[in-house]
Amino acid sequence: MTDHVTAPRSRTRRNANDTFLTFSLGDENFALPILRVREIIGISDITPVPRMPPHVRGVLNLRGKVIPVIDLRRRLGFDPVQDHKRTCIVIIQAGSGADAILVGTVVDRVSEVRDIPPSSVEPPPRLGSGVDLACITGVGKSGKHVVMLLDVDKVAGRDELTSASNKG
């Protein structure tokens, strides 16, 4: 007689496509797809680069690799603030394959990794013509929390970085 072993039942399996890194800018909550987050580091020396858009803080030397750093507050239209002990840089991957680049995004504080299934996501609200929602892909609801889901490629502004660095 053959022994039959059944695998233990696991709780609901996570779908990585539904998993997000949540963070705050002031009192507002945002999220990036976890599959596009490479690492989180403390705020460190950022070297300014002349003639970049105001939301580009400069570049960072990350273990020998120079990467651009975006001030997410400015990118999304928030007033800039001084860095503090919880300010950090979320390193994200913009693009894919051979065209992928790493970009640092400065955030006020990282909160947690959270599952937000598609059934809990609504389109971005229409807030009038003066509000740029280009970087927001949707609004995720998780319990009593509401988070703005961001488009990594639009947040990174890859085309803007390329065109700005080619000027002059």
Between CA 116 and CA 113 the distance in angstroms is: 10
Structure tokens, 51: 């003639």
Is the domain 16-161 a CATH 2.40.50.180 member?
Answer: yes
Residues 22-50: what's their mean pLDDT? 94
Residue 164 has pLDDT above 50, yes or no: no
Burial 95-126 (b: 16+ CB within 10 A, else e): eeeeeeebbbbbbbebbeebebeeeebeeeee
pLDDT tens for each residue of 62-84: 999 999 999 999 998 889 899 99
What is the model's pTM? 0.82
pLDDT tens for each residue of 109-147: 999 999 999 999 999 877 655 555 788 999 998 778 899
